[in-house]
Amino acid sequence: MREDSTGEVLTITNNGQENHLVKMAFLELRKYRETSKDKVRKPWLEFFGNKPFTQQPERAISQADQLLDYKSWSEEDRKMFSEQRRREEQAMLAQDYALEQAEEKGLERGLERGRAEGIEQGIEKGLEQGLERGKVEGSLSMLLNLVHQGLLTSEVASQQLGMTVAEFEVLLKDHHK
């Protein structure tokens, strides 16, 4: 455990020996057996497992159990606990809100970028298609004019355009109306 502002490790001195203020132990409560004969550990396992005591617990366990009993708390303790809980809930709500806002902003940026890239690609594709169409229409117009002037036959022009003579003749009629 560390001090909040300095980060210094908190210790306690006992008989000239410095020890950490808090030690952790992990209890595997699933492995706890109701029939355990260990009179020292059994009350602690019952306490942490929130089970009824099968024997009279020692003083430390009784005090810990009493501290967890909300009904035995003083009004000041209850207010302090409620205030702490309210702060934690507000912090969680603020964190949830910040996350939600960040997600929305990320989605907006993604959509904007997607639109911009889509527009850019659309313009490029449109230009390509427009140029291609312009080339085709220019070639068609030139071939139609050459056939109309008698400088080229419909067979050669239709072959250049990759269509049948009949299809070309229809275009030739529409072109000179």
Which SS3 state, helix, strand or coil, does residue 64 take? helix
**Each residue's pLDDT tens digit, 96-120:** 888 899 888 988 888 888 888 888 8
pLDDT for 34 beyond 70 = no
At position 66, the amino acid (one-letter code) is Q
pLDDT for 90 beyond 90 = yes
Contact 175, 148 (CB under 8 A): yes
H-only helix segments in 59-153: 59-68, 75-148
**What is the C-alpha to C-alpha distance for residues 24 and 14, in angstroms, rounded to an integer?**
18
pTM, two decimal places: 0.37
pLDDT at 17: 84
The CB-side HSE value for 128 (13 A sphere, CA atoms) comes to 6
pLDDT at 125: 87
Q: Where are the domains of the chain?
A: 1-72, 136-175
**Each residue's pLDDT tens digit, 116-141:** 888 888 888 888 888 888 887 888 88
